[in-house]
Amino acid sequence: MNTETGSLVERRTRAVKARAQALGFDACGVAQAGEIDPEDRLGAWLAQGHNADMGWLACTKELRQDPRALLPGARSVVVVASNYYAARPATERPGGRVSRYAWGRDYHRVLRKPLRDLTDFVIGLEDGAQAHQSIDTGPIAECAWASRAGVGWIGKNALLIRQDAGSWVFLGVILTTVALVPDTPAANRCGTCRRCIDACPTGAIIAPGVVDARRCIAYHTIENRKAIPEDLQPLFGDWVFGCDVCQEVCPWNSNARETSFRDFHPRPGHASLDLEGLDAIDETTFKKRFAGSPIRRATLSGMQRNACIVARNLEASAP
């Protein structure tokens, strides 16, 4: 790369990051497109059945390992992060706990437009440029790319952690044929800490950075459409949708600050759900009650199943 070309690439990179900041993203990093999993860790994880019934992960394995298979000619991967942390409402009634990411509006809807605007900006940098964007809806290894792009590191709970904000972040990814200056990959700062591993209620974190979905509360309460193994149910405690235990115990989350996105602040009654109310509503009421919320992903039947488990757990733990 000659000096003139290098200067152009550097200017474009600065412009992309400035645009990301202007759009409200909390961080933006760049990585060079290429193989992200040369050791085939995903293949080993899948071979052990750790993906449970999430068969789409196996079907898209090659695409996840090299984004150039998804966008031929891809040269850069732009990763943005958005903080979604909000304090738990003090006025919430006791009930079934909901993972913090689902307290507000569905992040896919919130971030779609600003990520689209940033994608259009990237495409506009070069004639004939192409780009593909994703907010964990496509076959892209978001956390791996975020780590390589210097946005954060992958913690022992397999989530991305930022030194200045912890792990309460949503990620967006843009693959592009535009050449940009890559950032230095983030250093892993977990050290010898294993609080997330030790605190996991079901022992789902079987090794640093390795989660077995078959034991994960978040998987079972959101993705699993079948019966939940009876031996796991008492370990769910009061988690009715998702689980934040491994994040709540992480020391880096002491740095968490309030999100600037109003849509991520908790909707009334969404941080702790009325279990009896869930059991009593019909499909139409469920869809209206949780319109625009990630909670709808679990379906009414799934949430009613979860509510029954939590109700039994609360009754069993009552003095």
| Claim to verify: residue 244 and residue 297 sit in the same structural domain | yes
| Claim to verify: residue 224 and residue 282 sit in the same structural domain | yes
| Claim to verify: residue 36 and residue 158 sit in the same structural domain | yes
29: part of which helix (H) or strand (E)?
strand 27-32
pLDDT per residue as tens, the chain (319 positions): 555 566 999 999 999 999 999 999 999 999 999 999 999 999 999 999 999 999 999 999 999 999 999 999 999 999 999 999 999 998 667 799 999 999 999 999 999 999 999 999 999 999 999 999 999 988 999 999 999 999 999 999 999 999 988 999 999 999 999 999 999 999 999 999 999 999 999 999 999 999 999 999 999 999 999 999 999 999 999 999 999 999 999 999 998 999 999 999 999 999 999 999 998 999 999 999 999 999 999 999 999 999 999 999 999 988 8
Tell which of 126, 145, 176 closes a domain: 176
Residue 181 located in a structural domain:
no
User: Is the CB of residue 108 less than 8 Å from the CB of residue 79?
Assistant: no
Give the per-residue pLDDT at 143.
97
| Claim to verify: residue 151 and residue 205 sit in the same structural domain | no
Question: Which residues are known catalytic residues?
Answer: 136
Work out how many domains the chain is built from and give that number. Answer: 2
Considering only CA atoms, which of 83, 79, 68, 60 is closest in space to residue 138? 60
| Claim to verify: residue 19 and residue 59 sit in the same structural domain | yes
Sequential DSSP letters for 41-69: HHHHHHHTTTTTT-THHHHTHHHHH-GGG
| Claim to verify: residue 138 and residue 261 sit in the same structural domain | no
User: Is the CB of residue 286 less than 8 Å from the CB of residue 194?
Assistant: no
Residues facing 205 on adjacent strands? 211
Considering only CA atoms, which of 137, 144, 133 is closest in space to residue 175? 133
| Claim to verify: residue 13 and residue 140 sit in the same structural domain | yes
Assign 189 to helix, strand or coil.
coil
Give the per-residue pLDDT at 137.
86
Residue 204 located in a structural domain:
yes
| Claim to verify: residue 161 and residue 69 sit in the same structural domain | yes
| Claim to verify: residue 159 and residue 258 sit in the same structural domain | no
Q: How many CB atoms lie within 10 A of CB 67?
A: 27
| Claim to verify: residue 20 and residue 111 sit in the same structural domain | yes
| Claim to verify: residue 144 and residue 275 sit in the same structural domain | no
Tell which of 176, 205, 232 closes a domain: 176
Domain encompassing residue 200: 195-317
299 CB burial (10 A radius; 0-12, 13-18, 19+): middle
Which two structure tokens, joined as six digits, stand for 107? 């992040």
